[in-house]
Amino acid sequence: MFRTRGLLKRTSLTTNTIQTSTNTTTTRGRKASKVPHVCIIGSGPAGFYTAQQILKSHASARVDMYERLPVPFGLVRYGVAPDHPEVKNCINTFTQMASNPRFSFLGNVSVGVDGDSGIPLTQLRSAYHAVVMSYGSSRDRTLNIPGECLPNVVSARRLVGWYNGLPEDTDLDVDLGVESVVVVGQGNVAVDVARILLTPLDALRKTDIPEAVLNRLSESRVRRVTLVGRRGPQHVAFTIKELREMIKLPGCQPHLNPHHYTHLRDIIPDLPRPHKRLLELLAKTGLDPANPNNLAATHTSAQRTWSLSFLRSPIQVLASEHQAVTGIKLAINRLEGEPGRERAVTNTETEVMECGLVLRSIGYQGVSIHPSIPFNDNTATIQHIDSRVMGLEGMYVSGWIDWGSVGVFQYESITACHHDFTGMYVSGWIGTGPVGVILSTMTSGFSTGKAVVADMDSGRLDISEDKPGQDYIRDLLAQKGVRAVSFNEWSTLNRHEETEGARLGKPREKVTSISAMLKLMNH
């Protein structure tokens, strides 16, 4: 958050109002290069949607996409729940777009670091007219409580990476030989990890979960999962789709305390329709367990259960003398504030919830890949206005503004800070924070693509100077001994995974080792 003062206008950004630190203003109608070169860092949906918009809107622009892994698609491949294959259908659109001759994928390339194998951001800026950062949010928010570093206190993000075959999480040390699991958090990711832990193995075998992970899950003794939230049931962050799936989960029954849901029927009528439908289903499940229309009530032989615990904040993870997790100590909260804007306030009263595994699912954070980037540590996002990277020193408006999630405010004049960020853009979570679903990421990507092309057309982005693009970067990579992977090489690996998957009766069998990926791509 930044306290500034002056005049604020809510309107879209117009480039001719922007002044640089040298007091020069941008002008329109500059001589354009025939081939503008755009670099996109990150190959998740935000990056692909940005590329799609640029290629569609500009007849000659070339787009090069850089990815640290040898494979594309980011969280679509490694973050979407394996039992939600329909969410991954956007990969078909991305693959079709990748066939555009003005698009290139360069995988296995790290960006932003000055080490032996990485390409510094400064080199990319010199090689391209525009650099779009769309590398997402890769760091966990932490609880910062005693016991958080114990074995079997695991990030939900890493568990998701593990069962999705992310190479860096392949060797995740998680002990599933426990009966009770506590998930701290009540968002979609929290529900996803709970559902995977409770889903019958026969159903999981039909997904693209790697065989090595399935073998580990076959030995799981998990029988109870509790999702803990610091506020009330009206504040849950999961969607109705996720709730329906939990209610219908075979061999599993919800254990919900009716006392937690009685007040929902009083507030439901005044809620927006999506939130209303979610709470109606939650109240029905919690208050009418004997209702024959409630599918969970038919699971009389269920051996596994899930539950929701509200108004609780973790204050310590408890362990035995052998450092095995035995439970989590929770502070009991109360709500304060006006309806719709309540906040959780901790009481002195506490309780202990027994468990053998704690999963932390309280959100992701972005990281800065270069010290010169204007980064907001509070929101863990890159500062921007309408997708254009901008520093805030010397800007004056009134009130408090969260620049990580608000990119729609403009000023009578803007004085840029000490660095010139012209030609730098953000797309997706690194600009908005980890919010929304793929549809909202698509909107962000399209908006960024339009901003890049608008700046080319207006002259704010000077494309009259010839830039070498990937030719220069490939020379640097060759000097460092780094092999850049092409989209065609990824296609070779993709066919291998699909062939192996078909043999096992599943969509694909993911290769989880980077060295194995590169070896297969050589064939």
Which of these, 265, 77, 63, lies nearest to 160 by C-alpha position? 77
The whole-angstrom separation of Cα 381 and Cα 399 is: 20
Q: Whose CA is closest to 89, among 438, 434, 435?
A: 438
Backbone φ, ψ for residue 232 (5° rounding)? -95, 180
Task: Please identify which residue in the block is written with the tokens 């990815």.
Answer: 67
Rounded to whole angstroms, the Cα distance separating 456 from 463 reads 7
Buried b (16+ CB within 10 A) or exposed e, 245-257: bbbebeebbbebe
Contact present, 399 and 423 (Cβ < 8 Å): no
> What distance in Å separates the CA atoms of residue 390 and residue 411, rounded to the nearest whole number?
13
The answer to whether 236 touches 189, Cβ cutoff 8 Å, is: no
DSSP bridge pairs for 140: 364
How many Cα atoms sit within 13 Å of 140 on the Cβ side? 20
Q: How far apart are CA 291 and CA 297, in angstroms?
A: 7
Cα 88 to chain centroid distance, Å, stands at: 14
Kindly tell me the burial class for residue 258, based on how many C-beta atoms sit within 10 Å of its own C-beta (0-12, 13-18, 19 or more). Answer: exposed
**Smallest Cα–Cα separation from 264: which of 305, 235, 307, 230?**
235
| Secondary structure (DSSP) of 253-314 | EE---GGGTTTHHHHGGGS-HHHHHHHHHHHHHHH-TT-TT-GGGG-TT--EEEEEE-SEEE
**23: Cβ–Cβ under 8 A, 6 or more apart, which residues?**
none
- In the annotated binding site, the residues are 46, 67, 75, 111, 186-189, 230-231, 242, 429, 436-438
Six token digits for residue 454: 């608008």
Strands ordered across the beta sheet of 180-184: 153-155, 357-360, 180-184, 224-228, 304-309, 252-254
How many residues are given for the chain?
Answer: 523
Rounded to an integer, what distance in angstroms lies between the CA atom of residue 129 and that of residue 60?
13
Residues flagged as binding site for NADP(+): 186-189, 230-231, 242, 436
Binding site members for FAD: 46, 67, 75, 111, 429, 436-438
Distance of alpha carbon 131 from alpha carbon 148, whole angstroms? 38
Instruction: Name the burial class of residue 144, with classes exposed (0-12), middle (13-18) and buried (19+) by CB atoms within 10 angstroms of its CB.
Output: exposed
Find out whether 201 and 214 touch, Cβ atoms under 8 Å. Answer: yes
